[in-house]
């Protein structure tokens, strides 16, 4: 099974109350790829500049991520994001965004990438997402992430992109904004009505909720005393979620979707324990499994009749 | 088994985007009592004025709630709260508070009330909570609710009251405020360090989390498309939680606490479906059980090895 992701590959400068990094590997496609690499074969599509070196490439390749479709643009710089978090780590404050190579990005997928079994459209402009989706006709499952910027500036395109995806991952504030519906259950149903079979509302430290037609499932965030850098948590969630579905599930059904939510929660929890990709890039599958077992034991309760 | 609750008995005026009521039965002790009445024998302690009639009393008594310790103060009015909610139902806006009989309240418990097996100190001034606690020496389990007002104005008393309770129920924003600790797991541990064996962080529509020394459990809120009035949800949660523990559990342990969290979640979910006590006052135990079964099916997932 193969899984293609299209999204940003970046250098990030991040400051939190627990430390800072001036320049580290980041970007949605990078966080996603590393998380998914524990489950399946991942191909990453996205542009980088001259400043992207073998060192960064090696972080991906050492996890088996296929980087052939990373396009290096000569004379240009890699996408750069600078942000900080205060004690409330739920809220990212952007200090600087330099699109660089990302400003002119026209996704070109090799036959191998466009022929993948699954596709993740990370948070990029929705018309680009649609362009990529159209190149991946044979994917059995396509998931899409987005953000408030596209709800504000490209709502119609975004609604079309959502209509062409099987699964939408979206922050719960954004799902309300997208649908003008303050009630989350109603908002999720309004998104399902656009076409997707699966809507995942990401709720930060509160976890995530899975909506399918007539179905609901929710998991809390894994409780952590030390959260150092939340950057990339949502993409790590998506990587664990889709990586498991692509690599280890023949059927995509209520049961496998729920287990996939568990893996997403686990990967997101490891992501935030350290800066950038530091923790996820040195995970083991045993660590993933043992945290999933712990997560289940934290959500399990008995009925009187049990 | 008997359960005593000390707290407010009120008339509420509430407006939400889904309707309004000019004057309806409310108050923390009322919401708590009705929810708990489905599980155990409840005694309610609190003051009312001349305006509190047989009609209101009958709502409680028809559920078997023992009202002998409701103190009627002649020539005075019942506690009155007026508030509204906008589309974000997570935030109550207070428009008017008339303490009336509550301003001079000195809790006097009959021997029957002070001899109860369990005690719930609803959200009242923490020195009053301590006074009541001292009268209930033989209770095997005491739980306490509080609010930001007491963190701001009586923090030391509140910390003492918490130290004398077995269980604290508190909003997650307030637990952070109380402990000056933005990380919820650390904040909960800081409260456990004050003495209680159980801390429950209430998280509104996101549900609730249970912290015990070394233990963690969380449940999402029950998903509802129609939430009409969230007033009293936290007290209904506490009523379901403590009512089940008092009425149906010999041991208070990780397993019974988790099931009790389930009942709390179910009672809170029914509470918010209609205004005031309207929905909870005409519940059946079958409805409670079937929603608990549904809640478990919404939180259950399998491991690969299952």
**CB-based contact, B182 to chain A, within 8 Å:** yes
* Residue B104 DSSP label: G
B258–A225 C-beta distance less than 8 A: no
- List chain B residues with CB under 8 Å of A289: 304
pLDDT at residue A216 greater than cutoff 90: yes
Q: In what order do the strands lie in the sheet with A141-145?
A: A70-72, A41-48, A2-6, A118-121, A141-145, A167-171, A198-202, A208-212, A215-219
Give the separation between CA A63 and CA A234, rounded to whole angstroms: 20
pLDDT at residue B235 greater than cutoff 90: yes
pLDDT at B233: 97
pLDDT at B73: 94
Q: Is A46 helix (H, G, I), strand (E, B) or coil?
A: strand
**CB-based contact, B296 to chain A, within 8 Å:** yes
pLDDT band at residue B88, thresholds of 50, 70 and 90? confident
Instruction: Give the chain B residue whose CA is nearest to the CA of A293.
Output: B303
Residue B38's nearest CA partner among B71, B19, B68, B62 is B62
Give the separation between CA A239 and CA A223, rounded to whole angstroms: 20
Residue B88 has its nearest CB partner, among A182, A255, A259, at A182
Q: Which of B172, B220, B226, B230 should one mutate to test binding to chain A, selecting the residue with the greatest count of A CBs within 10 A?
A: B220
* A45 strand-pairing partners: A6
Residue A221's nearest CA partner among A26, A90, A86, A27 is A90
* pLDDT digits 0-9 by tens, B18-77: 999 999 999 999 999 999 999 999 999 999 999 999 999 999 999 999 999 999 999 999
For helices A54-61 and A28-36, give the axis angle rounded to 10 degrees: 40
Structural domains of chain B in order of their starting residue, each with its CATH number: 2-297 (3.40.1190.20)
* pLDDT digits 0-9 by tens, A37-88: 999 999 999 999 999 999 999 999 999 999 999 999 999 999 999 999 988 7
Residue A185 has its nearest CB partner, among B209, B224, B292, at B224
**CB-based contact, B98 to chain A, within 8 Å:** no
B298–A296 C-beta distance less than 8 A: no
Q: Is B146 helix (H, G, I), strand (E, B) or coil?
A: coil
pLDDT at A108: 86
Residue B21's nearest CA partner among B114, B107, B71, B85 is B85
Closest Cα in chain B, distance from residue A45 (Å) = 30
Within A20-105, where are the H helices? Answer: 28-36, 54-61
Q: Which of B39, B218, B286 should one mutate to test binding to chain A, selecting the residue with the greatest count of A CBs within 10 A?
A: B218
Region A126-144: mean pLDDT is 96
**CB-based contact, A36 to chain B, within 8 Å:** no
The model carries a pTM of 0.96
Q: Which helix (H) or strand (E) holds B32?
A: helix B28-36
- List chain A residues with CB under 8 Å of B292: 303
**CB-based contact, A258 to chain B, within 8 Å:** yes
* pLDDT digits 0-9 by tens, A148-164: 999 999 999 999 999 99
**CB-based contact, B218 to chain A, within 8 Å:** yes
B259–A304 C-beta distance less than 8 A: yes
pLDDT band at residue A222, thresholds of 50, 70 and 90? very high
**CB-based contact, A182 to chain B, within 8 Å:** yes
Give the separation between CA B300 and CA B306, rounded to whole angstroms: 12
Residue A205 has its nearest CB partner, among B184, B223, B302, at B184
**CB-based contact, B293 to chain A, within 8 Å:** yes
pLDDT band at residue B103, thresholds of 50, 70 and 90? confident
Q: Is B49 helix (H, G, I), strand (E, B) or coil?
A: coil
**CB-based contact, B261 to chain A, within 8 Å:** yes
Instruction: Give the chain A residue whose CA is nearest to the CA of B224.
Output: A185
- Return the percentage of chain A with pLDDT > 70, whole number: 100
B223–A220 C-beta distance less than 8 A: no
A304–B248 C-beta distance less than 8 A: yes
Give the separation between CA B39 and CA B59, rounded to whole angstroms: 17
Instruction: Give the chain B residue whose CA is nearest to the CA of A86.
Output: B182
Instruction: Give the chain A residue whose CA is nearest to the CA of B17.
Output: A182
Closest Cα in chain A, distance from residue B67 (Å) = 29
- List chain B residues with CB under 8 Å of A262: 301, 303
**CB-based contact, A298 to chain B, within 8 Å:** yes
Interacting residues of B55 by C-beta distance below 8 A, sequence separation 6+: none
Closest Cα in chain A, distance from residue B183 (Å) = 7
Q: What is the ipTM of this complex?
A: 0.94
């Amino acid at each position: 099974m193969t899984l293609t992701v299209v999204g940003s590959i970046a250098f990030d400068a991040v400051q939190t109350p627990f430390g800072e990094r001036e320049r580290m590997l980041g970007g949605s496609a990078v966080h996603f790829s590393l998380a998914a690499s524990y489950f399946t074969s991942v191909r990453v599509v996205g542009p980088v500049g001259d400043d992207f070196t073998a060192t960064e490439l090696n972080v991906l390749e050492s996890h088996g991520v296929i980087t052939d479709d990373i396009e290096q643009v000569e004379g240009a710089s890699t996408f750069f994001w600078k942000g900080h978090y205060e004690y409330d780590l739920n809220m990212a404050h952007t200090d600087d965004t330099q699109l660089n190579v990302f400003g002119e990005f026209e996704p070109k997928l090799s036959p191998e990438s466009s022929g993948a079994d699954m596709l993740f459209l990370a948070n990029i402009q929705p018309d680009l997402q649609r362009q990529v989706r159209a190149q991946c006709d044979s994917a059995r499952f396509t998931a899409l992430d987005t953000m408030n910027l596209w709800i504000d500036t490209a709502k119609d395109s975004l609604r079309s992109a959502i209509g062409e995806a099987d699964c939408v991952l979206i922050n719960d504030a954004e799902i309300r904004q997208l649908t003008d519906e303050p009630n989350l259950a109603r908002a999720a149903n309004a998104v399902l009505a656009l076409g997707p079979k699966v809507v995942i509302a990401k709720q930060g430290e509160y976890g995530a909720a899975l909506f399918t037609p007539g179905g609901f499932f929710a998991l809390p965030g894994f409780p952590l005393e030390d959260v150092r850098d939340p950057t990339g948590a949502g993409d790590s969630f998506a990587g664990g979620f889709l990586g498991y579905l692509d690599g280890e599930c023949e059927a995509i059904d209520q049961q496998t979707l729920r287990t996939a939510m568990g893996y997403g929660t686990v990967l997101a929890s490891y992501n935030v324990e350290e800066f950038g990709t530091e923790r996820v890039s040195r995970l083991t599958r045993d660590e993933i499994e043992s945290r999933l077992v712990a997560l289940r034991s934290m959500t399990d309760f008995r009925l009187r009749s049990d």
